[in-house]
Amino acid sequence: MIHAKDINERTPWEEMTPGGEIYEPGTARDFDTGTWRTDTPVFIAEACKHCMLCVPFCPDSAIPVKNGKRLEFDFMHCKGCGICVTVCPFAAIKMVSGGDAE
Amino acid sequence: MSICFSGNEAVAYAMKQINPDVMGAFPITPSTEIPEYFAQFVANGEVNTEFVTVESEHSSMSVCIAAEAAGARSVCATSSCGLALMYEMLYVAASDRLPITLACVNRALSGPININNDHSDSMGARDTGWIQIYAENNQEAYDNFIMSVPIGESVRLPVMACMDGFITSHAVENIELLETDSVHGFVGAYEPENYLLKKENPLAIGPYDISAYYMEHKVQQAEAMKSAKQRILEVGTAFEKLSGRSYGLFEEYRMEDAELAIVLIGSSAGTAKEAVENLREQGVKAGLVKIRVFRPFPSEELAKALANTKAVAVLDKSEGFSANGGPVFAETRSALYDLKERPYLINIVYGLGGRDFKTEDAEKVFARLARIAATGETGLVYTHMGQRTREAIV
């Protein structure tokens, strides 16, 4: 069984999986895919009630959760789509223009 | 067992004997009868197949792709514009390495709209990454469909088993059927190593490929297609043991000492064989090569078969619009390039949209080859035959 972590841009074709099949789940977290973001969500922690509505609506894995609390965005994976802003009932997320919040 | 079947009935019966897990079904002339017959087998409880009726050929192929990825052996049938509508999904099936078996009942493409036979549908799909096997008659349509299953599954490529629309699909001939148990044993169970429903290891199929990976996957596909040639021969040998009927990459008919040869695909081979026999009686060393496997193309083997001829006509039943000859001609001419001494080579596009190809037409081609061999003058290399014209050329 070939694992996704063992395939990289130096892997010869003989050692890659047929058709690019991936034989394990959750491999997206191993790759930095947030680099092309043009808008960025900003987390306003004091307004957040930790209702967790934003978490399942995030199309990627960009809102980490620990001990029942949502944490700061994972900008390695956030594409800046803004869905979290739309679904947040407490105005605890705002969007700013550009690839990062600064 | 001997039985009277049309080509469509023969393929539907082969499907019944294979008893696939899934059929993606959408009708189009002249392949409609295949899902129609098969629906009866489903209704009668004679197969265990999930028969999925959909709204288009794009969807019927999508059904097969999803089912095959899930681990289910899948079959499909189509023709002409139906195959054209599948075009996008044909590439997905091949590049995801899903060995679907598709009965392609060859028909002209629109427009002008035409329901009769030529090869422009499957020739248009020749670069999709599918193995293509062509039948001359009903027996071959039946046999090829059964052989396509183990061929495709062993190299993980989908297979298009083609026959000529109406000429083969609707004409009734006596054919020999295998016992259903024999077919089961021959195709075996479909046991892919990984599939979506295998709960032990979650699988992603068809992920996005950036340019750092795409080319490697294309090389894998190309290597699979190269390896398919050997596999087709092995399956042919196993099938001969079972049926007594022999299949190679192409059929050589009276080629042992042939000086003049025709190369073509499909049902016209029967007509051309008649012409070969007539000319042989007159002492003309005529022969025929009927291409059975077009993808992978049997390049070295074909060059060897034609190496000792003096003049060869490649007959294309699709135009191609390259302004440089049809697709069978392009492949054949390329195959012959490596020979030290090459025969004279011409291309004749014929039979488009169901235009008749008669024994005397094949004889006219041989007469032209005889003139070329005698004079060394090829004349026009790329011509059409059978059209009304003010010019007196073949």
**Where are chain B's structural domains?**
2-243, 250-384
Report residue A98: phi and psi, to 5°. Answer: 105, 165
- Cα B231 to chain centroid distance, Å, stands at 16
A19 lies in the same domain as A64: no
CATH code for the domain of A65:
3.30.70.20
Residues A50 and A83 reside in one and the same domain: yes
Burial grade of B16 (CB within 10 A; 0-12, 13-18, 19 or more): buried
Residue B150, preceding peptide bond in cis (omega within 30° of 0): no
Range 34-93 of A in CB contact (< 8 A) with B: none
- Two tokens, residue B120: 């422009």
Structurally, chain A folds into a number of domains equal to 2
| A-chain residues near B220 (CB < 8 A) | 13, 16, 18-19
Q: State the Cα–Cα distance between residues B69 and B62, nearest whole angstrom.
A: 10
Q: How far is CA B323 from the centre of its chain?
A: 24
Looking at the structure, tell me whether residues A38 and A11 fall in a common domain.
no
Interchain pair A19, B96: CB under 8 A: yes
B2-243 belongs to which CATH class? alpha beta
- The alpha carbon of residue B40 is apart from the nearest alpha carbon of chain A, in Å, by 36
Predicted local confidence at residue A28, as pLDDT: 82
State whether A94 and A57 are in the same domain: yes
Q: How confident is the model at residue A92 (pLDDT cuts 50, 70, 90)?
A: very high
Confidence at residue B394, expressed as pLDDT on a 0 to 100 scale: 47
Angstroms from A82 CA to nearest CA on chain B:
23
Distance from CA of B206 to the nearest CA of A (A): 7
A interface test, pick of B216, B221, B223 with most A CB neighbours within 10 Å: B216
Between chain A and chain B, the number of residue pairs with CB atoms below 8 A apart is 49
The CA-to-CA distance between both ends of chain A, in Å, stands at 43
A38 shares its domain with A73: yes
Name the DSSP letter for residue A43: E
Encoded amino acid at B217, one letter: H
- What is the CATH topology of the domain spanning B250-384? Rossmann fold (3.40.50)
CA dist., res. B290 & res. B366, Å (int): 15
Q: Which residue has the tokens 């599954």?
A: B153
Shortest CA distance to B146 belongs to which of B19, B317, B325, B279?
B19
Neighbours of A67 (CB within 10 A): 5
Domain containing A78 equals 32-102
Both A18 and A38 in one domain: the answer is no
Q: Are B288 and B276 in contact (CB under 8 A)?
A: yes
Of B204, B212, B224, Cβ closest to residue A21: B204
Any A CB within 8 A of B194 CB = yes
B211-243 and B80-95 helices, crossing angle to 10°: 110
Residues A24 and A64 in one domain: no
A19, A66: one domain: no
- CA distance readout (Å), B337 to B302, B328, B377: 11, 14, 19
pLDDT in tens, A29-82: 888 888 899 999 999 999 999 999 999 999 998 999 999 999 999 999 999 999
Does residue A76 share a domain with residue A99? yes
Q: Per-residue confidence of chain B (394 residues) as pLDDT tens digits?
A: 999 999 999 999 999 999 999 999 999 999 999 999 999 999 999 999 999 999 999 999 999 999 999 999 999 999 999 999 999 999 999 999 999 999 999 999 999 999 999 999 999 999 999 999 999 999 999 999 999 999 999 999 999 999 999 999 999 999 999 999 999 999 999 999 999 999 888 899 999 999 999 999 999 999 999 999 999 999 999 999 999 999 999 999 999 999 999 999 999 999 999 999 999 999 999 999 999 999 999 999 999 999 999 999 999 999 999 999 999 999 999 999 999 999 999 999 999 999 999 999 999 999 999 999 999 999 999 999 999 998 765 4
Q: Are residues A36 and A71 in the same domain?
A: yes
**What residues contact B32, with CB distance under 8 A and at least 6 apart?**
none
CA distance B66 to B74: 9
- Considering only alpha carbons, which residue of chain B is nearest residue A21? B205
Residue A64's identity, in one-letter code, is P
pLDDT at B393: 56
Say yes or no: A7 and A36 in one domain. no
| Amino acid, single-letter form, for residue B251 | E
Say yes or no: do domains B2-243 and B250-384 share a fold.
yes
* DSSP per-residue codes, A61-81: S-S-EETTEE-S--TTT----
Question: Distance from first CA to last CA of chain B, Å, rounded?
Answer: 43
